[in-house]
Amino acid sequence: MAHTPDDKPTPAAGHGTDDSTGTDDSTGTAARVGATYRVQVRPGFDLDATAGLAGYLADLGVTHLYSAPLLTATPGSQHGYDVVDHRAVNPELGGEAARVRLVRALRAAGLGLVVDIVPNHAGVTRPAANPAWWDVLRHGRASACAKWFDIDWDRGRLLLPVLADTPDALDELKIADGELRYHEHRFPIADGTGDGSPREVHDRQHYELVSWRRGDRELTYRRFFAVCDLAGLRVEDPEVFAATHAEVLRWAAAGEVDGIRVDHPDGLRDPAGYLARLRAAAPDVWLLVEKILEYGEELPDWPVDGTTGYDALAPICGLFVDGDAEADFTALDARLTGRHTSWQDLTHDTKLAAATRLLAAELTRLAALAPELAPDEARAALAELAACFPVYRGYPPHGTRHLAAARAEAGRRRPDLAPALDAVTRRLRDPDDELGQRFPQLSGAVMAKGVEDTAYYRWSRFVALNEVGGSPAHFGTPPAEFHRNAHARQVRWPAAMTTLSTHDTKRGEDVRARLAVLSELPQRWARAGSAGG
């Protein structure tokens, strides 16, 4: 929940646990968490403003303030998930001094602090703001920071999709203050390459400025989903992990951070290895992962205290949905839209489109790892498997089962691809195969872009269920199922977060609750819908 300086936060805007009493398996901090309250710190509501909420939040019964990322982000960033410098607190939030004041204010009010970290990617939309990225652009593969980013150096120069989509866009380049400029964009010039026209200088650099339209088709670095402004980090490298986590781990070692929320672990090459390293470095923090689980999926046996709670959100919402109304809403939706497509077919099509269009650059990079197949054949097989994958990505011990399910469904839909599907599937079963390590990074992005960001806005049967972590095909949660789910969570992950809405949910819990009421009066809603149509 974001606040402006004049906002008065309300209890309804809270976000966090309602019962996080730990067991002997929980960390000490996790056992003390009662309720968290998330604040979207930003330049318009900095750390000193946040500190001013401490007394009010304590009066609400909150035990821990849960903050958006605090490290230096792209100047002007309103969210903080585009970190550009991992060494310092964002000066636009007040810097290190303001962070210390926040911690003191929280401690004085009896509150703890949970911080958000972003290991998967870094902000690169303004290269000069990101010292590591700037160094890579200047020195290329020889940069000391080259290992930081997931770049495909074998494909030539680093492509930066920032130009207008016009044939003469490069003619607008200028040289100023020893830099290459394209309107407001600034880029470094490698030593000894600054003579000649701007275009000649550009052609000597380790990077190539290209049309923004090429970003989805042929990018040479891994992105966060389809966002070219967020470049993938290689935190699987111990040196990169150390450099990008030293500051936050310093806070934890000093007892100034009680919990850490890990953003988007599905994007990492080795989430399990990363989390093991993080837990070893911060053994006493309440450690949560933003892992979105599909219906019936279990969290891997990671050294964490649980998820951020999307797997609780879905059954809680479903509890308020009358499952007996499913047939009525299915019929109403078909009558109003003329659509008779199943949820399975819709999501397959939207995921396939995401894989082959939005994420075509990532798909092409994967296909290049299968030289035993023709490029088009490899791309088609990988895209079909990603479109048929039943979860975001596979993890032991159930990953092989999910892969087998994807192979079976892909074969049913594309029998002509059987040889290629078999060849690729064999590779994906090998945990030491680079293709097997990288495919899960693609499948997670395909699920997010194809389902969360597309299918949820096309499937209109009952939109209260179209939520992150939800399963619109499952119409409601029977009480017995809800209690089984709650019991399983309490047994396996007693310190996990229970949440009803986040900064990423499509709707707030109050809106979903109101929509859920419609399941109790399907005939009245059908009449109202018909009258409105």
CATH number at residue 78: 3.20.20.80
Give first-to-last CA distance, the chain, whole Å.
Answer: 35
200 with 246, same domain: the answer is no
Q: Which two tokens stand for residue 475?
A: 């119409």
270 with 409, same domain: the answer is no
Structural domain count, the chain: 3
pTM: 0.92
**Helix/strand number for the chain, H first, E second:** 20, 16
Last residue of a domain, one of 438, 457, 476: 457
Are 193 and 201 in contact by the 8 Å Cβ rule? The answer is yes
How many Å is the Cα radius of gyration of the chain?
Answer: 24
446 with 352, same domain: the answer is yes
- How high is the pLDDT of residue 22? 37
Q: Which domain holds residue 89?
A: 11-121+234-299
- How high is the pLDDT of residue 10? 32
Domain assignment present for residue 518? The answer is: no
Ranges of H-type helices in 338-433: 343-353, 360-367, 375-388, 399-413, 418-428
Domain assignment present for residue 250? The answer is: yes
Question: Could you give the C-alpha distances from 216 to 122, 128, 356, in angstroms and in order?
Answer: 18, 23, 9
131 with 117, same domain: the answer is no
Q: pLDDT under 50 in the chain at which residues?
A: 1-24
165 with 227, same domain: the answer is yes
| Alpha-carbon gap, residue 479 to 342, rounded angstroms | 26
Domain assignment present for residue 33? The answer is: yes
Residue type, 522: P
Coil/strand/helix, residue 127: helix
245 with 106, same domain: the answer is yes
Coil/strand/helix, residue 211: strand
Domain assignment present for residue 530? The answer is: no
76 with 103, same domain: the answer is yes
168 with 58, same domain: the answer is no
Domain assignment present for residue 492? The answer is: no
Count Cα atoms within 13 angstroms, Cβ side, for 286: 35
- How high is the pLDDT of residue 33? 87
144 with 243, same domain: the answer is no
Last residue of a domain, one of 390, 425, 457: 457
Domain assignment present for residue 387? The answer is: yes
* CA dihedral of residues 236, 285, 225, 424 (deg, nearest 10): 50
Ranges of H-type helices in 125-268: 131-139, 198-203, 215-218, 238-253
| Alpha-carbon gap, residue 226 to 387, rounded angstroms | 16
Of 210, 156, 143, whose CA–CA distance to 182 is shortest? Answer: 210
109 with 238, same domain: the answer is yes
Domain assignment present for residue 57? The answer is: yes
- How high is the pLDDT of residue 146? 97
- How high is the pLDDT of residue 26? 54
Domain assignment present for residue 465? The answer is: no
339 with 371, same domain: the answer is yes
Last residue of a domain, one of 185, 213, 232: 232
78 with 179, same domain: the answer is no
Residue type, 121: H
**CATH number, residue 178:** 3.30.1590.10
